[in-house]
């Protein structure tokens, strides 16, 4: 279906302002991600893990949630999603530069380990897929307390090979918990392609095995992800249990700043991927539907640049943690 035909229909419950704001959030996520990679190459940020290519999926899911009410148990690629939930560029730059004001952990954890009590974001652990169990625990609490809250947890397709994944999905389905399992499938677990991770074509093929609804959606199509996530969130809020939602994304950058994907992906593969950049797709879609006028995309980009410049100025000026606090949260103090 042509983009200009599908946009107004799919976006029926989104206002033009919301659509513009979704695009703006994608641009902000991308530009901040690029800035963090530059800081890493400059030797200022010790580690960077990029979410470039995942922005459309993350914004689509984020807008399906009630911010300040619902919960998120994210993974390390969710830079854009945690900002949709309320975190700010400044927060990420504080973390990347190891400042005491890093809201995730006061610069204790590596960058990319998001957590914010203020925005209902549960802190990220380093072993992949442990977040699945944490989210199932959160959803269990919502159900016990009779709350109408929903929790989303995200994971890469590689993480779905972990035992935690299977235990979590089984438990959530048995107890019909209000949780959405978002798989951001970018076809690689570091250098391991999907064909060596699983014998099914789609992670969502496993949904029936757990007894839960599942869907594979084009993760480069923000509004398609939004529609699928809305359905899952509404179902969970009605007390009808969990959903497995697989968003097919692309990993535009290497796995992390310690990796070089040119060593295991062909130049053709990398070039082709860039042609389908989700940001460009959404811009064209919104321009085709008359939501963005000529020059709007450029104005949005410049506004986001200014936000990032101001955030970096603040993070540059901020202090690192006091070395005397190095053992805080490790041993009891006093």
Ligand X SMILES: Cc1ncc(C[n+]2csc(CCOP(=O)(O)OP(=O)(O)O)c2C)c(N)n1
Could you list the residues that contact ligand X (CB under 6 A)?
A: 77, 126-128, 155-159, 184, 186, 188-190, 251, 255
CA 65 to chain centre: 13
* CA–CA–CA angle 81, 285, 3 (5° rounding): 120
111 interface partner picked from Mg ion, ligand X, none, CB below 5 to 8 A per type:
none
Q: Which is nearer to ligand X, 40 or 101 (CB)?
A: 40
Listed ranges 38-46, 63-71, 114-122, 148-156: which one lies at the site for Mg ion (CB under 5 A): 148-156
282 interface partner picked from ligand X, Mg ion, none, CB below 5 to 8 A per type:
none
Q: Element (H or E) spanning 145, and its range?
A: helix 130-145
| 262 burial level (CB within 10 Å; 0-12, 13-18, 19+) | exposed
Residue 312 near Mg ion by CB under 5 A: no
CB of 256 to ligand X, least distance (A): 8
CA 8 to chain centre: 25
CB of 192 to ligand X, least distance (A): 8
CB of 188 to Mg ion, least distance (A): 5
128 interface partner picked from ligand X, Mg ion, none, CB below 5 to 8 A per type:
ligand X
Q: Which is nearer to Mg ion, 109 or 191 (CB)?
A: 191
Instruction: Decide if 188 is catalytic.
Output: no
Out of 54, 113, 251, 283, which one is annotated catalytic?
251
CA 198 to chain centre: 22
What residue number has its CB nearest to ligand X?
Answer: 156
Q: How many CA atoms does the CB half-sphere of 316 hold within 13 Å?
A: 8
Q: Which is nearer to ligand X, 131 or 214 (CB)?
A: 131
Q: Which is nearer to ligand X, 77 or 283 (CB)?
A: 77
77 interface partner picked from ligand X, Mg ion, none, CB below 5 to 8 A per type:
ligand X
Parallel/antiparallel/unpaired status of strands 192-193 and 188-189 = antiparallel
CB of 129 to ligand X, least distance (A): 7
Out of 30, 113, 206, 255, which one is annotated catalytic?
255
Residue 156 near Mg ion by CB under 5 A: yes
Measured distance CA(301)–CA(22) in Å, rounded: 13
Residue 103 near Mg ion by CB under 5 A: no
Strands (E), 120-267: 151-156, 179-185, 188-189, 192-193, 214-218, 243-248
CB of 259 to ligand X, least distance (A): 10
Measured distance CA(78)–CA(72) in Å, rounded: 10
Measured distance CA(51)–CA(29) in Å, rounded: 8
Measured distance CA(82)–CA(186) in Å, rounded: 19
Residue 186 near Mg ion by CB under 5 A: yes
Q: Which is nearer to Mg ion, 76 or 114 (CB)?
A: 76
Instruction: Decide if 108 is catalytic.
Output: no
Q: Which is nearer to ligand X, 168 or 178 (CB)?
A: 168
Out of 237, 264, 265, 301, which one is annotated catalytic?
264
Comparing CA positions, the residue from 334, 270, 329 lying closest to residue 108 is 329
Listed ranges 69-77, 141-149, 186-194, 265-273: which one lies at the site for Mg ion (CB under 5 A): 186-194
Q: Element (H or E) spanning 303, and its range?
A: helix 296-317
Measured distance CA(251)–CA(188) in Å, rounded: 8
| 114 burial level (CB within 10 Å; 0-12, 13-18, 19+) | buried
Catalytic residue IDs: 251, 255, 264
Q: Which residues bind Mg ion (CB under 5 A)?
A: 156-158, 186, 188-189
């Amino acid at each position: 279906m042509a983009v200009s035909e599908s946009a107004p229909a799919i976006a029926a419950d989104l206002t033009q302002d919301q659509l513009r704001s979704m695009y703006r959030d994608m641009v902000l996520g991308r530009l901040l991600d690029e800035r963090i990679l530059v800081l890493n190459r400059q030797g200022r940020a010790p580690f960077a893990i990029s979410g470039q290519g995942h922005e459309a999926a993350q914004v689509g899911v984020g807008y399906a949630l009630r911010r300040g009410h619902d919960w998120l148990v994210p993974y390390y690629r969710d830079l854009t999603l945690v900002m949709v939930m309320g975190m700010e560029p400044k927060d990420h730059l504080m973390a990347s530069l190891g400042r005491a004001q890093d809201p995730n952990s006061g610069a204790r954890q590596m960058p990319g380990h998001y957590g914010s009590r203020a925005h209902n974001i549960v802190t990220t652990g380093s072993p992949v897929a442990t977040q699945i169990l944490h989210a199932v625990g959160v959803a269990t609490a919502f159900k016990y307390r009779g709350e109408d809250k929903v929790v989303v947890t995200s994971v890469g397709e590689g993480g779905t090979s972990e035992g935690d994944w299977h235990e979590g999905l089984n438990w959530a389905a048995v107890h019909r918990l209000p949780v959405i399992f978002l798989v951001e499938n970018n076809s690689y677990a570091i250098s391991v392609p999907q064909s060596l991770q699983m014998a099914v074509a789609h992670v969502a093929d496993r949904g029936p095995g757990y007894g839960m609804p599942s869907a594979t959606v084009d993760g480069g199509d923000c509004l398609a992800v939004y529609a699928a996530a809305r359905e899952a969130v509404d179902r969970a809020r009605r007390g009808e249990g969990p959903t497995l939602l697989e968003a097919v994304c692309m990993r535009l950058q290497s796995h992390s700043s310690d990796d070089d994907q040119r060593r295991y992906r062909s130049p053709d593969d990398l070039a082709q991927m860039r042609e389908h950049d989700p940001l460009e797709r959404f811009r064209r879609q919104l321009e085709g539907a008359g939501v963005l006028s000529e020059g709007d995309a450029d104005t949005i980009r410049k506004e986001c640049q200014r936000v990032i410049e101001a955030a970096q100025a603040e993070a540059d000026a901020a202090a690192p943690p006091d070395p005397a606090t190095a053992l805080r949260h490790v041993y009891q103090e006093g």
